[in-house]
Amino acid sequence: MAHEKALEQVLIVTGGSRGIGAACALLAARKGYAVAVNYTANERAAQDVVQAIIASGGRAIAVQADVAHEDQVLAMFNRVDTELGRLTALINNAGVVDAKARVDEMTFERLRRMFDINVIGSIICAREAVKRMSTRHGGAGGAIVNVSSAASRLGAPGQYVDYAASKGAIDAFTLGLAKEVAAEGIRVNAVRPGLIETDIHASGGIPDRVRQLEHQVPMLRGGSADEVAQAIVWLLSDEASYTTMSLLDVSGGR
C-alpha cells in the first residue's frame, strides 16, 4: 500500500470548480490522479466535482483559495501536502475576464485585478509547485500546464485587450520557466484555447460570444471544455515526456 501511495500522482487544478478546470479535474481523476479542486467562492460547484470524482472511485478534495492572495495560495499548497501528498502536477487554470471594453475605457482597478489573478497568481502557484516537484528541492519531478488563450495571439481588440495581454504574459512565463526547470525533472507547457463553450463569456457580459464568432473558426464551431481538457491532461502525462516549452493551440484553427 505504501508503494502504491508513492506512485500516486497528485494534482492541483486552480479554478477547478467549473468549465475547463472542472473538465480537467474529472479527466485527470479518471487517469488516476488525486485531485485538489481549487475554487475562489463557489464551494457548491467545487464539491460537486469532488463528489463526482469520489463516486467514481477517485480521491479529491475541494480547496478554497483566491490565487490573487499569496497567503491563501500558501495555505492551499500546505493543505494538499497534508491531505493528498507531494504534488506532482499543476494546472494553472484560474483566470478572469471583465466586461467588454476598449483600452481607453479601462480602470486601474480592472487592470490590477486582471493581472493579479491571471498572471501573478499563476506565477505564485507555479513557484510553489516547483518547490515541491524540482529535483533541486528533493522532488521527483512533475509537470505544469498553464492555461493561456488564443487571445494572446489575436489581441481581442474592442473587447478584452487586457485579458489578451495577461495571457501573452502567461505565454512568455511558460517559455522561461520551462527552460529554467527542464533539467530538474519538470516539464512546463501551455494550452491556448480558442472559442470554448464555458460560462466565462457570460462573466464578461457576452454569453453568446461563441455563437457570434464561430463563423471565424475554420472548423465553424466552438470547442468544448472536454476537448481542451484532453490536451491539458495529455501534456501532464508520460505520453508527453519529451514535450516542454510548448504552446499548444486548441482553437479549431482560429
pLDDT along the chain (254 residues), means of 10: 56 97 98 98 98 98 98 98 98 96 98 98 98 98 98 96 98 98 98 86 63 85 95 98 98 93
The pTM score is 0.94
Measure the CA–CA gap between 68 and 70, rounded to whole angstroms: 6
3-state secondary structure of 204: coil
Catalytic residue among 33, 39, 160, 163: 163
Give the count of domains, the chain: 1
Looking at residue 6, what is its pLDDT?
43
Q: State which residues form the domain around 211.
A: 2-250
Q: What CATH number is attached to the domain comprising 14?
A: 3.40.50.720
The set of residues, in sequence order, having a beta carbon less than 8 Å from that of 182 and lying 6+ positions away, is 188, 244, 245
Amino acid at 161: V
Looking at residue 208, what is its pLDDT?
80
DSSP state string for 206-236: -TTHHHHHGGGSTTSS-B-HHHHHHHHHHHH
List the alpha helices (DSSP H) in 99-208. Answer: 108-115, 121-133, 151-154, 161-181, 200-203
Burial level of 247, CB count in 10 A (0-12/13-18/19+)? middle
Respond yes or no: is residue 242 known to be catalytic.
no
